Amino acid sequence: MFFTEDITLSTILCDEDDYLTLWGLARLFQDVALAHSETLGVGYYGLKSLDKAWILTHVYYNVLRLPMAGERLTLRTWAKQDNGLIAPRDYQLIDSNGVVCASSSSNWVILDTNSRKVTRLGEIIKVYDKEAVDSTKYSKLEKLKMPDMMDTLKKIDVPFSSIDHTYHVNNAEYIKWICDSIPEICKPREDKRPEISELMINYLRETKYGDANVMLLHKEQDETKYFQILNSNGVSVNAFVKL
């Protein structure tokens, strides 16, 4: 089943020039996924009553155009065939002319919030419609291979505002940290600033508020920018960015 939601893009999700940010796009796709899950009876509150929660593990974004604040847009999402543990989900952001501005592929799991272990989907979701449609070049997301010997870029002090209702850093916040660490896009647009066209992230370990050992690592290889975020328990995030 395809699920759609019409919105007017808010400045809250936009940058200094009123263009949608990549972390704002992540928030939009996250919200429409949760809205769709509500219609299936497995939204945030339904899972919370079972001590369960949806957790994003892999995501890829392909950006064709960054829309501006005030634009009327349509969010479109659908579930794809799962393997019993991993629930793939794709997305599109479509403008008022019916043109796709951005698309995404993602993997989600249901986590037991007490044991912190993954729950089999069939124990929670009995029947739901899946679509055999890929919105990106990835029909299946795999583990991201990272380069060796990455360089330490900076230490990150995790702000309390980065924590979401699962009590760990929200997936979109990692994107914000990465984007803020790319000098080419942190400058005025009149200076011919490039934009991010692709971003892939593997979420491996949760990061919590108060962790004093969060570090951002970086390496550029074959015109791809690789980022790794470490916390006290090891690798939290692996990612790549292409401009």
Q: What is the pLDDT of residue 238?
A: 98
The domain defined by 1-141 folds into Thiol Ester Dehydrase; Chain A (3.10.129)
With residues binned 3-state (H G I as helix, E B as strand, rest as coil), the percentages for the chain, rounded to 5, are: 20, 35, 45
| Type and span of the H or E element at 37 | helix 22-39
Match 């979420």 to its residue by tokens. 203
Q: 8-33, pLDDT tens digit by residue? A: 999 999 999 999 999 999 999 999 99
Q: What is the pLDDT of residue 128?
A: 77
Q: How many CA atoms lie within 13 A of 111 on its CB side?
A: 14
Confirm if 18 and 68 have CB atoms less than 8 A apart.
Answer: yes
Q: What is the pLDDT of residue 165?
A: 87
Q: Does domain 143-243 bear CATH number 3.40.50.720?
A: no
Q: What is the pLDDT of residue 189?
A: 86
Distance CA 157, CA 145 (A): 26
DSSP state at residue 11: G
Residue 113 CB: number of other CB atoms within 10 A?
A: 16
pTM over 0.85: yes
Q: What is the pLDDT of residue 129?
A: 83
DSSP-derived secondary structure for 103-153: EEEEEEEEEETTT--EEPGGGT----------SSS-SS--PPPPPSSPEEE
Q: What is the pLDDT of residue 135?
A: 98
Q: What angle do CA 108, 109, 111 make, to 5 degrees?
A: 140
Show the tokens assigned to 13. Answer: 């999700």
Annotated domain spans of the chain = 1-141, 143-243
Match 């949608």 to its residue by tokens. 20
Q: 85-104, pLDDT tens digit by residue? A: 999 999 999 999 999 999 99
The radius of gyration computed from the CA coordinates of the chain, to the nearest angstrom, equals: 18
With a cut of 50, list the residues of the chain below it in pLDDT.
Answer: none
Q: What is the pLDDT of residue 186?
A: 92
Residue 243 CB: number of other CB atoms within 10 A?
A: 14
Calculate the alpha carbon distances from 67 to 6, 96, 177 in Å: 14, 10, 21
